[in-house]
Amino acid sequence: MLRAEVGGLSVAYERVGDGPTVVLLHGFTHDSRAWQPQLQSLPDQFTLIAWDAPGAGHSPDPPETFGIGDWADCLAGFFDAVGVHSAHIVGLSWGGLLAQEFYRRHAARVRSLVLADTYAGWKGSLPEPVPEERLAACLRDASLPPAEFVAKYLPGMFGASPRPEVRDELGRIMADFHPLGFRLMATALARARGHPGGRAPQQPRRSGPIRRAGARLLPIYLEQLTMFKWLFRSAPAAAPQEHGRSFSASKGGSRL
C-alpha cells in the first residue's frame, strides 16, 4: 500500500487508474479492501483512491479525542499529501457521514457526492434513545475477540443471499477492525447531527446539509440495502420506499 503523512499520521491508501479522481470512503467496520471490486473494474475510467481512515486497516489509530470534524480535516490534508485538489467522493455508511462533514468544511474540494447506505449521523436520522443505545452496544462490542465481533456484525451487512465468497471476504476485513477506531467512529455516528440546527427532522425538509446551486438530488432505493432495513426495522416493509419517495418529492428536480 501507499502512504501519506498527514498531521503526524501515516495514512495508508490504494491508488489506481487514470481519469477523473474518485475518492472512496469506507464504513466503520471496514477498510480500503471493501472497495476492491471498484479498484479492479474502474481504473480505465477513473483515478481511484481508497484510503484506510485513521483507526482502520493499515493506518494507525488517531488520538482518543478524534471526532468527525477531525477526520474531515485529516481527509483534506490527505488530499494535499496525494496531490488532489478536488474529487468526486463516494462515502459508504460511516464514510457517508464523513463525506457530508468534508463537504460542510471543504466544499470547494468536492466535485460530487455519492452517499451510499448512510446517515446524517444517528442523531440526525434516528429517534431517541436509539443513537445512545447503539453507541453503548458498540462501545461494549469493541472489546470482543475478532471472531465474535465478526459473528455479531457480519450478518447485518447484507441483504438476502449474499454470495459466499463476498461474505467471507468481508468477514476477513472486519476481523482486522481496530477496537479504538471502532469506538471513535461509532461515537462520531452517534453524536453527529447532519441536519442544520442540530435537530433530527420529523418529516422531509427542503433544507439539508448539502447545498449547491444547480445541484440535483437523486435518491436511489435498493431492495437489499441493509442499513435502510436496519433504520426501518420496526416499521412496515414499505417504509423505506415511502420514505425515499417523500424525501425525493421534497427536493425539486429529483426523481426516484
Longest dimension (CA), the chain: 48
Q: Which three cell numbers stand for residue 60?
A: 494507525
pTM of the predicted protein model = 0.81
Domains of the chain: 2-249 (3.40.50.1820)
Q: Which three cell numbers stand for residue 140?
A: 461494549
Q: What per-residue confidence (pLDDT) applies to 231?
A: 29
Q: What per-residue confidence (pLDDT) applies to 220?
A: 57
> Which SS3 state, helix, strand or coil, does residue 46 take?
coil
- Cα–Cα distance list, 173 to 26, 29, 155, 214, 231 (Å): 11, 8, 14, 39, 24
Name every residue whose Cβ is closer than 8 Å to that of residue 34 and which is 6 or more positions away in sequence. Answer: 26, 27, 92, 170, 173
Q: What per-residue confidence (pLDDT) applies to 214?
A: 55
Q: Which three cell numbers stand for residue 29?
A: 467496520
3-state helix, strand, coil in the chain (%, to 5): 45, 15, 40
Q: Tell which phi-psi region holds residue 8, choosing left (phi > 0), alpha (psi between -120 and 50) or beta.
A: left
How does pLDDT run across 196-211, given as a tens digit for each residue? 333 333 333 333 445 5
Q: What per-residue confidence (pLDDT) applies to 209?
A: 46
24 forms bridges with which residues in the sheet?
50, 90
Q: What per-residue confidence (pLDDT) applies to 158?
A: 86
Picking from 73, 81, 60, 77, the residue whose alpha carbon sits closest to that of residue 10 is 60
Q: Which three cell numbers stand for residue 181?
A: 477506531
Residues of the chain with pLDDT under 50: 195-209, 222-241, 243-244, 246-256
Q: What per-residue confidence (pLDDT) applies to 243?
A: 42
Lookup result for grid cell 441536519: 195
